[in-house]
Structure formats: structure tokens, C-alpha cells
Amino acid sequence: MSIQRAIFGGFRQLGITEENAQRDIYARVTGQSRLSLMNAQQQDAVMKELRRLGYKPVAVRRNGRRRLDGRYAPKMQSLWIAAYNLGIVEDREDRALEAFVKRQTGLDS
């Protein structure tokens, strides 16, 4: 993932959606008011500031989907794949597992 996409994702995760607020952070950290005017070191400084503010990058697979995380995720995945191999479930993908868990528990990941 490019650093610019990570920066925009950081703003989205932190709830900083207004362009003026984003530009204020850019100016405070680097002196530049636009991301396109920054060099690589300045963009890294913006990323460090977003992490300081609480941004936590989400684990992403090569295919662009989120990885399941947590204490029981590996066991749930292995049981889900076993159920697929036995013909109990039709979709082997993690998104189907997430939908099943959400439907059964009412909890969203």
C-alpha cells in the first residue's frame, strides 16, 4: 500500500474527514499544506503523527481483504474450512465466516 493511501486511511480511521483539518495537520507537521507537495520524509512524518494520534493500520492480505485476528481466529478458520470440506457450508472464504459470526452473535468485527 502506498504511503498516501495509508495516510488517507489514517484520517478516515481517526474520523478526520474535513479537508481543512487534514491540511492543518500537514502544515503543523511539515510546513506544507498539501500531501502532493511533500517529499517522502515529510510523508513519513505525517504517518508518525497519525500513529501518535491513535491510528492503527489494519492487517491486510495480498488480495486486499482484512485478515482475521484475535485469540480464536485460527481455530475458527480451521473449523470453517473443515465444515466446507465436509459440505456443511458452501463458501470457504473468511467473509462468509464473518457473516456467519455476525448473524449468530450480533457482533460485527
| 24 sits in which H/E element | helix 19-30
Let me know: does 70 contact 98? Beta carbons within 8 Å: no
- Quick: pLDDT tens for 6-48: 899 899 999 998 999 999 999 999 999 898 899 999 999 999 9
| 95 sits in which H/E element | helix 94-105
Residue 1 pLDDT > 60, yes or no?
no
Q: What global pTM score does this model have?
A: 0.55
Residue 54 pLDDT > 70, yes or no?
yes
pLDDT at 81 (0 to 100): 94
CA distances from residue 14 to 29, 54, 77, 87, 102 in whole angstroms, order as listed: 17, 7, 30, 41, 24
Per the listing, cell 474450512 goes with 81
